[in-house]
Amino acid sequence: MQKSQCFSVLCSIYQGEQADYLNEAFESLYIQTLPATEVVVVHDGPLTDALYSVIDNWKHKLPLKEVILDENVGLGEALNQGLKACSYDLVARFDSDDINTPDRFEKQIEFMKENPNVDLITSNIGEFQTTVGDISSFRNVPCSNNELTKLARYRNPINHVAVVFKKSAVLEVGSYKDLYFMEDYYLWIRMIGAGKNLASIDKSLVHVRIGNGMHKKRKGLKYIGSEYELFKIKMRYKLTGFFDGAFIFCLRLLPRLLPSTILKVLYTRLRSKG
């Protein structure tokens, strides 16, 4: 691989992950048309024997680089520790239960090389319940920095599981910071505030598993607390004023108060509309 194409891939794993899903995610890395130079895997605390077994089985197939944390610290801090271990400025994120399309890295790394002014690129994602390849909905985002910035007022503008970013740009704005289930959204807002250039490819390059109780994680007092902090953060970075920000906060708060069954239906319908 040419030096100009060298890049790291980063994920975090904790003991609650399913081993067979991790195996499928690693398989999707293995068949990439542009393989990763290194795959940095953070152990966010002790793992299960099944997860250790999957990691061991892939060590001779993938360029794994393990970062082992003694205790569970949460996704944001685990990614911070993993980011420190990444050897290259271009870093691609992936989740341990998602499937990357075979051409994902080739398309995104090529885009970053051809557009050196871009600090982060994402893509659309397809979503499936449990069967890989059985896509039921999409989460589409705009392609231009201007449109992504506008979208950030209302919702997370970046599909985190499909990003490739410059490590230097992320570190410059303070990397991941604690905000329950919204560490990535907070990071993108700070990148926007710092004038970083964001972009997206209008193609689904990652298939995301949503039949794992995802909608249940989007409820509760801690999530509502994060929404309130996000409301203040958006004002601080001048994405919103008080009144429009408060209106958006109320709109985002409503689903957090609904029963899980209704939230699941709403979530699926919104996703299907992109």
Domain ranges of the chain: 3-272
Percentage of the chain lying above the pLDDT 90 cut: 79
Per-residue buried b or exposed e for 178-198, using 16+ beta carbons within 10 Å of the residue's own CB: ebbbbbbbbbbbbbbbeebbb
How would residue 252 be classed by pLDDT, with cut points 50, 70 and 90? Answer: confident
CB 216 within 8 A of CB 255: no
Q: What is the mean pLDDT of residues 174-184?
A: 94
Q: What's the pLDDT at 261?
A: 62
Phi, psi (degrees; rounded to nearest 5) at 195: 80, 20
Q: What is the mean pLDDT of residues 121-125?
A: 97
pLDDT in tens, 202-249: 999 999 998 755 555 555 678 889 999 999 999 999 999 999 999 999
Q: What is the mean pLDDT of residues 94-110?
A: 96
* Torsion angle in degrees (nearest 10) through CA of 154, 135, 92, 273: -20
Please determine, looking at this structure, whether the domain spanning 3-272 carries the CATH number 3.90.550.10: yes
CB 227 within 8 A of CB 253: yes
CB 159 within 8 A of CB 125: yes
The whole-model pTM stands at 0.89
Q: What's the pLDDT at 258?
A: 64
Strands 90-93 and 164-166: antiparallel
Residue with tokens 């970013």: 165
pLDDT at 130 over 50: yes
CB 29 within 8 A of CB 36: yes
Q: What's the pLDDT at 171?
A: 98
Q: What is the mean pLDDT of residues 39-49?
A: 98
Q: What is the mean pLDDT of residues 22-43?
A: 98
Across all residues in the chain, what is the average pLDDT?
91
- C-alpha span between 222 and 181 (Å, rounded): 9
